Amino acid sequence: MRLLTRHILRAGFALVVTTLTTAAFAQTSFSATYKGGSTSSCGTTFNISGKEPTASGKYPVYIHIGGTGEPYNGAWASAAVDAMAAKGFVAATVEYDNGSFGTCTTISTRAKCIFNGANANSAIAKLCARAKADCSKGVVTGGLSQGSIISVLSRNFDSRIRASMGQGTGSTYTVAYNLESCMANGKHTQPGDRLRIINGERDMFVGGTESIARSQAELVTGLKCSGLSPTECFRSNGSGWAVVKDYQVNDLYADHCFMGLGTYGAQCTGILAVDTNYRYGSGAWALPATTNWLKSFVTP
């Protein structure tokens, strides 16, 4: 076992929280399919790729959703799955109809196909039916871009979802899509104190500046912190948001895909690998912190 400390900013005051973590679980890969789509019929077959602890037992579930045009089993989706399986989850990333973006209605329908627990063919139903899964222990979600919207909306369709993480998350994407009617705090079933939103300061899809990245995260979570321009704002339970700065990532460009090593000045292009500061770093925006936060909401 080892101790980890993290800093929380609440109403302008810095807190230090210490958490106890255990050794990583050995993992076994698995694959499955479910029925998804962009219509209420949810009739198209899509893939699920996951990992679960090799040891016998029953575990909570983590579901990851990638962004528009992103391979469902790409590098950073797989990094999240690996991290959650190592923490004792049945963890999976799901394919869906992500060739285009959409309105609240379109994206909510895609979310329902993934997360409607009452539909035996949904992704969540397929994962909860696995021999090692126990969704009564809790389900948590994460995602990037369109996948982050689906992550935030997931609890609209299944009350077992206890907390959700989003990366590149807002209500306004470029000038074409305003999703405030489903993404503003109070417009989604997931309470603001069960959300953790991480945006890059140069995320052009949610605005392109640190100020807009902050305001978009505030809108979704309903949380604001005092100070001129805070880059982290968390409640005592770790919910809230962070804005990733250029200097915190290895390619010095905290864009929409801040978790990937890419080309400076171009959003989500030239991606070579997962940023090591994201995958292994101690920052509140990094994968260890966000996965530890998600784990805090489930029953071991």
> Tens digit of pLDDT per residue, the chain (300 long)?
333 333 333 333 333 333 334 568 999 999 999 999 877 789 999 999 999 999 999 999 999 999 999 999 999 999 999 999 999 999 999 999 999 999 999 999 999 999 999 999 999 999 999 999 999 999 999 999 999 999 999 999 999 999 999 999 999 887 789 999 999 999 999 999 999 999 999 999 988 899 999 999 999 999 999 888 899 999 999 999 999 999 999 999 999 999 998 877 777 877 779 999 999 999 999 999 999 999 999 999
- Asked if residue 34 lies in contact with residue 126, where contact means CB atoms within 8 angstroms, the answer is yes
The rounded distance, in Å, linking the Cα atoms of 236 and 16 is: 10
List of E strands, the chain: 2-10, 13-21, 27-36, 44-53, 61-65, 90-94, 139-144, 161-167, 172-173, 177-178, 195-200, 232-234, 240-244, 260-261, 273-274
Report the pLDDT value the prediction gives residue 282, as an integer from 0 to 100: 95
Domains of the chain, first to last = 2-295 (3.40.50.1820)
Single pTM value for the model: 0.91
What integer pLDDT is reported at residue 207 of this predicted model?
A: 86
